[in-house]
Structure 1
């Protein structure tokens, strides 16, 4: 008598797997929240506080440009952090790198709240601010890549888009928290805000560090990295591999990120500076940040929604929608902000962040890890994310502030700039292969898999990759 084979339980039905999936989601979410709390807070402070406190005020416009330059310095450090920690993440595992990055990034952010200002120590103040931004950026350079890879490798294959997007609710939560906190401290009298009020949220970063560290220390390594170690497939020369075999994936990944990352920082920070320049005089800080607050609230729903839609419709389709939406939205958006109306500006920023940016972020959470093979996935995602962060997010603040200063706040120039970013990303969606349900234990990159390879004896639930010819 033949005994019928016992069905293998799905991974998500395993209590230990389910517990680790919850830990991974929490670990990634809190790290994302801390990173974007710090970066959004720094961006809001750049436009309205740091330009006053850390730079001489003989030329206020120049001080604002200089403040945004320190904002951009953090982005310059991110690729180096991504390179350094990306190598470690592919050699030592995802968990320990995420422990190190949260300490480095959060520690630098907390230290910013302790810095003396220009009136106290002169030119040493902006120098110290730059050093803290460099450390913050160095740690952040691998934080989001690690969170992205961690969740993609833990998530159930058929729902990878949804689960990989869940930690990025932390991005919205962090941005939302920064906007709410900044709105509250902006209610302080100006002398109290500029003397001690602005320091409070930076110092509060320490609490998020402790929570994230506790959760990450209890996290197990991802199943795909365990497979990599088991089969002794860890790359011996990861940097050479990623910039030779992995280079096509990096280039396409950078292109995909241009509109999402650049658009995010333009709506989060540059729009505030542009509004102030457009209306002239003193703008209401607390009202201006409500656009970011509402956009983040929308993102709490739109990021997992578009991630889930990409599980059904494909990553490219959903991503392309977001890029095209931004392309269509950008010209009316900047014209409307230029009108100087608080309600209209708040609505524009909320739609720009909540819909345009986050319609790309949702599918991106699974798509970038799926682009790269298991041997250099952490490094590949880190390079794609952080090179684009310099070219899109970091440059947006400096170049945008310069455009505002020299053009007399010309909305059309800013709209053309954002439209260019959207066009690059739209074009990239026609170059990237569809990565839906790709097997993440594979060591080859998705962009090199041909239609014939994907169709010859490979289960469609594992690999459904097509290369555009």
Structure 2
């Protein structure tokens, strides 16, 4: 796992990166990514409070929750496949075409969930169709984040990549804010109306949002670094295969570095919502509103840490975020176990803020782990292999909780383990960074 792994020969010409265009491209990537994450995060909230009751109604409450979270995890299992597929398109055809396809796929899949009949209407076909649409979401998201991050970073001046990568990362809390906000609104409906049609409205909103996102994506220009690769004929034939062959060490570091930002987030949101409502008997609205407050604070943390990483280094920031979250894991769940609304909101907010120290710089670190001709595939694979592992963490947390008598200590231990893995990824990642050469106009 040496820094020279998979590093191409220096190009004969140096691509020009325009500082004037960097902000515009990063903002466009942010808006598209925010709308994509809105679509994807809706499923996580619905898995905790809707799908377990309406699509798995023949099971007891714990088994229904497990089944809903297993379906939730299917999307994560599909993400590495999406990373291979769209990584091929992004590293061979272009970053821009790949991003246009991903946004159409996820928007259509999410909108169709909103018109899906439940178990009471069509029986077993309902959860099967739900799983298929979740699979489509996973494939699309598998190519989305890596592409958006790659195109934003490759348009940015090298010394300012931290801030522009962080701007794309803000798409996640904004997507959370939009999805949790949408569910908070429909939860104001009477329970009967919510179960009948109210929960569908946030999913149906994906159709008009898709048109907005597609319009924005069409304005994004191709990466100057990719255009240079085309000119010099330095594209890999099968990028994913070359990543596994020649850059596997970097890929392992990328997976570890990304693990907390994805996995820890779902422990602190999807699992905690389920734990609060099913185990502690708290109001669904309280648990959803806690994620709303946390998302607001996360935006500020991500932007500040992105700037700070330009001085400290994204690997060191990842190490710090992993260690801080590991130290806080048990105290956070102790606060949740008090059943006090203020303590619960504080715990979720602090938990997401701590893990966001590492999450804020994930894009900046991963893009500098891979050379340009493997970047889309390497970044997408690293992030989405971490996502594939992370998607089943709520399922594992619920299963461990059931096996040990219902306490929260197993979830805290799980969060601590994920945090320490990411801390190790940051430690090694800082030593493996390879920066592009570019002239800034």
Q: Give the match for residue 162 of structure 1.
A: 163
Superposition CA RMSD, Å: 1.8
Q: Using the alignment, how far apart are the partners of 2:246 and 2:48 within structure 1?
A: 41
Which runs of structure 1 show a deviation greater than 6 angstroms over 4 or more consecutive aligned residues? none
Ranges in structure 1 where 5+ consecutive residues have no aligned partner: 1-9, 442-460, 463-469
161-170 or 27-36, which deviates more: 27-36
Q: Give the match for residue 436 of structure 2.
A: 439
Q: 1:272: Cα distance to partner? A: 1.2
Q: Give the match for residue 426 of structure 1.
A: 423
Q: 1:403: Cα distance to partner? A: 2.0
Q: Using the alignment, how far apart are the partners of 1:413 and 1:424 within structure 2?
A: 17
Q: 1:23: Cα distance to partner? A: 4.0
CA contact (8 A) 2:153 2:165 kept: yes
CA contact (8 A) 2:17 2:154 kept: no
Q: 1:321: Cα distance to partner? A: 1.4
Q: Give the match for residue 348 of structure 1.
A: 347
CA contact (8 A) 1:367 1:435 kept: no
Q: Give the match for residue 386 of structure 1.
A: 384
Q: Give the match for residue 405 of structure 1.
A: 402
Q: 1:310: Cα distance to partner? A: 0.5
Q: Using the alignment, how far apart are the partners of 2:115 and 2:233 within structure 1?
A: 46
Q: Using the alignment, how far apart are the partners of 2:277 and 2:35 within structure 1?
A: 28
Q: Using the alignment, how far apart are the partners of 1:64 and 1:128 within structure 2?
A: 18
SS, match of residue 430 in structure 1: helix
Q: Give the match for residue 299 of structure 1.
A: 298
Q: Using the alignment, how far apart are the partners of 1:423 and 1:71 within structure 2?
A: 25
CA contact (8 A) 2:319 2:426 kept: yes
Q: Using the alignment, how far apart are the partners of 2:148 and 2:437 within structure 1?
A: 15
Q: Using the alignment, how far apart are the partners of 1:406 and 1:92 within structure 2?
A: 49
SS, match of residue 391 in structure 2: helix
Structure whose CA Rg is larger: 1
SS, match of residue 286 in structure 1: helix
Ranges in structure 2 where 5+ consecutive residues have no aligned partner: 1-15
TM-score (norm 1): 0.87
312-321 or 373-382, which deviates more: 312-321
Q: Using the alignment, how far apart are the partners of 1:437 and 1:251 within structure 2?
A: 16
Q: Give the match for residue 131 of structure 2.
A: 130
CA contact (8 A) 2:250 2:432 kept: no
* Cα deviation digits, residues 79-100 of structure 1 (max 9, x gap): 0011111011000010010000
Q: Give the match for residue 29 of structure 1.
A: 30
Q: Give the match for residue 308 of structure 1.
A: 307
CA contact (8 A) 1:274 1:404 kept: no
Q: Does 1:242 align with 2:243?
A: yes
SS, match of residue 427 in structure 2: coil
Q: Using the alignment, how far apart are the partners of 1:375 and 1:248 within structure 2?
A: 17
